[in-house]
A and B are shown apart, each in its own frame.
Chain A
């Protein structure tokens, strides 16, 4: 029996990625990374800034996401996100801009702890991208 399932990544403007031959997806859920294999129980969660890794038979793809919602049901993983890009096409300027805008947010006084955590995390992930 095959151990493959479907993944759909959609952003508001279009369908970003749709594959039916992935065997593992690692998503940066808000309470830690989740690895999803076939026949995972139905789950709904949302994302923190991080990297989605999609493993299919032929290749491995990585995408940076800022936020979003994931739903897994009937062996279909749906990822809804408004900000996503393929790490391969990462735009250096965009990444550094994002870092500096996140850092600017961080320096404000009126943010709560959760937001601070998310922003810190975002900066960390983006920095790791820009190094590679």
Chain B
């Protein structure tokens, strides 16, 4: 049985924790709005990029000589996995969900006796993966310094990937991130970016009729465009990730605040009860003392 003093201390401590989580929730809510806006603003670019690539790849007739970034190296022995996580914790299952998704993919690759290479973006992912997969991790990139997500950061990652691809260091590249659905739901995603997975559900066959004029030729445009597309995909993933991170944190902090509130209520009742019990006990002592006289 904790003493009254102990209870009082607990209550104050829980209350101050509650204040912190509440503040974090509000900060996350404000940041979320911004991140969501950014994600929406960034969408036209990646959509248009996809469109152009779709149109281009349709018009490529010579599949044999098509750029390797599009069709792959013909093998799939070495897998490079880019795991995008947050730099900060306290955001619920956000980081863990990505890691879980990535780990199941890693296990699959290892069990198939293929070579696994990992690059992490964001320090939390590195922290969680280094225990188990230290020997596979090539590099950890963190953009803690940049306040906002910007394209140049994504471009840096993209350039590293392309450099590695040109040196034939991997055959398949996949990225892992959280897709933002709404504040409560974020879906961990696995997306293959090299070779480019063609969308099976090409809905707009109408664009087939459009014969584009290419200047210079298709191959050259594609080889110029595909590296850019990788950066764009990573940028998109980063935007989605940041919106997801804030959403996830907001929900987590909201829950924490509510839990703290419940805890305070319970502790207060316990405090009052034991205070009352102490008073009653004293009264009984006084009365029985008076009676015995």
The answer to whether A42 touches B224, judged by C-beta atoms less than 8 angstroms apart, is no
Quick check: B45 and A43 within 8 Å, CB to CB?
A: no
B207, closest chain A residue (CB): A73
B46: A residues at CB distance < 8 A: 12
The reply to whether A29 and B215 form a contact with Cβ atoms under 8 Å apart is yes
**A69 lies within 8 A of B225 (CB):** yes
Give, as a whole number of angstroms, the nearest-CB distance from B277 to chain A: 63
By the criterion CB–CB under 8 Å, are B41 and A43 in contact?
no
The residue among B56, B150, B211, B228 with the most chain A CB atoms within 10 A of its own CB is B228
Within B38-95, the residues touching A (CB, 8 Å) are 38, 41-42, 44-46, 48-49, 51-52, 55-56
Q: Which of B38, B52, B155, B228 contacts A44 (CB 8 A)?
A: B52
Chain B: CB-nearest residue to A81: B45
Pairwise interchain contact A71-B48, C-beta atoms closer than 8 A: yes
**From DSSP, what is the main secondary structure of chain A's interface residues?**
strand
Q: Return chain A residues, CB-CB under 8 Å to B214.
A: 43-45
**Chain A residues with CB below 8 A from B51, complex form:** 71
Contact A43:B44 (CB < 8 A) given known A71-B52, A73-B210, A82-B151: no
Q: Number of residues in A with C-beta < 8 Å to the partner?
A: 23
C-alpha gap A45/B52 in the complex (Å): 10
Complex: chain A residue closest to B46, CB-CB: A12
Q: CB distance A30 to B38 under 8 Å?
A: no
B232 close to A (CB within 8 Å): yes
**Interface residue ranges of A35-49 to B (CB < 8 Å):** 41-46
Are A44 and B55 closer than 8 Å at their CB atoms?
yes
Query: Which chain B residues have a beta carbon within 8 Å of chain A's beta carbons?
Result: 38, 41-42, 44-46, 48-49, 51-52, 55-56, 150-151, 154-155, 210-216, 221, 224-225, 228, 231-232, 235
10 contacts between A and B (CB under 8 A): A13-B42, A30-B216, A31-B215, A42-B211, A43-B214, A43-B215, A45-B221, A46-B224, A69-B49, A73-B210
